[in-house]
């Protein structure tokens, strides 16, 4: 047990060191992600002025800006850039064989790699996030209650696990398809809209006829960005707060199981030849 923990700790340290190898590029890329905030503020100010209303989809202008800032935090947890495509490429190139013949679990290895990535990302981005939220504090009406903050924190952790296992499951389509880039591109488009990263999902679900509005509300992608932000802003009714967290946990469990089943089925059908 002790040797196993030492092995995983070594792998985690290597993953962190790998992210720090090109730290200048990593830091610059992280900081550049904050530039669209100014654009979003001007954009939504113009939208509300053109609409001539104080509320759109249950949000006023300040709440939309606050929502966008919170989705940036949620996406910092749930986004997994390069995970699905990386696993698919490992399958196609034959690199996946090392996980089949060595006592290293692919899922655990990838999870440690993502944890290493997130640790470095948070170390770089925490300061800019704090500064941005301080400068934009006027868009928030105040701190939510302790229960809501607890639910928000749990939702962020679940969004990380959900995003990880969902993308890893998609990457394992490489066992069945030689090229999955087109499928991943479609997924990225759907993710951008249906996760609520572009705008609050209530703008869609409240204005679409049945059953489309219900499908928007039921999709698992909303728990990657929309739901944590909605929880913090008090857009989730108190009597539905923990029910929503439970549904998010069930979606996470679903993709944990789907990931493991896909890996087992993929290993059973995989054939690798040569060195």
Largest distance between two CA atoms of the chain: 67
- pLDDT higher than threshold 80 for residue 220: yes
Q: Kindly indicate the confidence band of residue 261, based on its pLDDT and cuts at 50, 70 and 90.
A: very high
Q: In this predicted model, what pLDDT tens digit does every residue of 141-179 receive, in sequence order?
A: 888 999 999 999 999 999 999 999 999 999 999 888 888
Global pTM reads 0.86
Q: What average pLDDT score do residues 41-68 get?
A: 81
Q: Residue 273: its pLDDT value, please?
A: 56
């Amino acid at each position: 047990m002790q040797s196993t923990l030492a092995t995983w700790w070594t792998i985690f340290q290597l993953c962190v060191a790998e992210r720090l190898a090109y730290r200048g590029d990593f830091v610059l890329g992280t900081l550049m992600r904050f530039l669209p905030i100014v654009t979003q503020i001007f954009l939504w100010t113009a939208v509300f002025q053109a609409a001539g209303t104080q509320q759109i989809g249950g949000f006023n202008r300040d709440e939309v800006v606050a929502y966008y800032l919170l989705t940036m935090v949620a996406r910092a947890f749930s986004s997994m850039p390069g995970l699905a495509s990386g696993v698919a490429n490992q399958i196609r190139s034959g690199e996946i064989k090392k996980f089949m013949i060595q006592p290293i679990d692919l899922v655990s290895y990838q999870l440690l790699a993502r944890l290493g990535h997130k640790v470095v990302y948070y170390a770089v981005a925490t300061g800019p996030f704090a500064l941005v939220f301080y400068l934009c504090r006027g868009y928030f009406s105040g701190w939510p209650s302790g229960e809501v903050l607890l639910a928000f924190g749990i939702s962020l952790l679940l969004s990380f696990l959900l995003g990880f296992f969902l993308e890893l499951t998609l990457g394992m389509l490489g066992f069945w398809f030689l090229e999955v880039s087109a499928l991943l591109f479609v997924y990225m488009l759907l993710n951008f809209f249906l996760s609520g990263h572009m705008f609050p999902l209530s703008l869609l679900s409240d204005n679409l006829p049945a059953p489309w509005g219900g499908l928007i509300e039921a999709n698992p992608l909303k728990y990657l960005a929309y739901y944590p932000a909605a929880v913090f802003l008090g857009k989730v009714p108190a009597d539905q707060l923990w029910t929503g967290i439970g549904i998010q946990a069930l979606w996470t469990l679903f993709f944990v199981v789907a990931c493991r089943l896909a890996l087992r089925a993929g290993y059973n059908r995989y054939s690798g030849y040569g060195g």
